[in-house]
Homo-oligomer: A and B are copies of this chain.
Amino acid sequence: MNNAKLFGQIKEKGSFLCIGLDTDLKKIPPYLLETEDPQFEFNKQIVDATEHLAIAYKPNLAFYETYGAKGWTSLEKTANYIKERYPEIFLIADAKRGDIGNTSKMYAEAFLKNMPFDAITVAPYMGEDSVSPFLEFPGKWVILLALTSNKGSDDFQHIINVDGGNRLYQEVLTKSQNWGNKENMMYVVGATRAEKLEEIRKIVPDHFLLVPGVGAQGGSLEEVAKYGMNDSCGLIVNSSREIIYAGNDENFAKAAAKIAYDKYQQPMNNLLIEKGLLI
């Protein structure tokens, strides 16, 4: 999957929505618990109902690991189902991995080779040799944490470097451009700091940004587009709980599709038109 294909899908669907599959057995419709693989069944129905509205899905690894090997099987089935049925979908493993070189290599193989993910989120703390093993798979992507949407992002990400005056997240954006490029690297930038996107676009004008925090976490889609959209859209906006838990009965997938359409795809389509990206 390259930058142009991703933009092609965005134009075709009039959407830059990623749906986060934070699939929690305590929150899914109870009737699904009687199926053989409730996590997979839930994901399958959500994806089938929303695939025309979203360009990406993002299983959150924690929600599968917590169910052990069984959860991992549900994850694998979900990933395989999506890529077999909807090969154009950009499939993100939200795993926030990162370790010394030989270990990052194993993580990279787990997600980008042994499973059909197109991308994986990676934490930057350990530096280049913890990130670069994920960049060795043609057509696959690293999505590096830069400025996250949570309160704790204040603790370290805003530290100002005495040498040059960059904040830590700006150092991450700047330095990592020597490791990858706009065809294999994106950045996580939280929507709760939408105004920061303007400044971030000066450092990474061409890279895609994965933007969590719209919806349940309070970020504004309009502000994200205003400050962050570039000439190839350059945005993948994620929403998880607000969409996938919109309903809690047999019609949950329809309810999810309605929220995805009303609150995301339609506004996104309009924002793309305003920007002159849809003809």
Interface residues of A (CB under 8 A from B): 22, 24, 60, 62-63, 65-70, 72-73, 76, 94, 96-104, 106-107, 109-110, 114-115, 123-131, 145, 148-157, 159-163, 165, 168, 171-172, 175
Contacts and interface: CB of A to CB of B under 8 A. Distances in A.
A81 to B, nearest CB: 15
B130 A159 contact: no
A24 B73 CA distance: 21
A160 B152 CA distance: 19
A100 B69 contact: no
Contacts of A159: 159, 161-163, 168, 171
Contacts of A165: 162
A72 B68 contact: yes
Contact of A168 (B109, B114, B168): B168
Contacts of A154: 127
Contact of A124 (B102, B115, B156): B156
A98 B162 CA distance: 27
A65 to B, nearest CB: 4
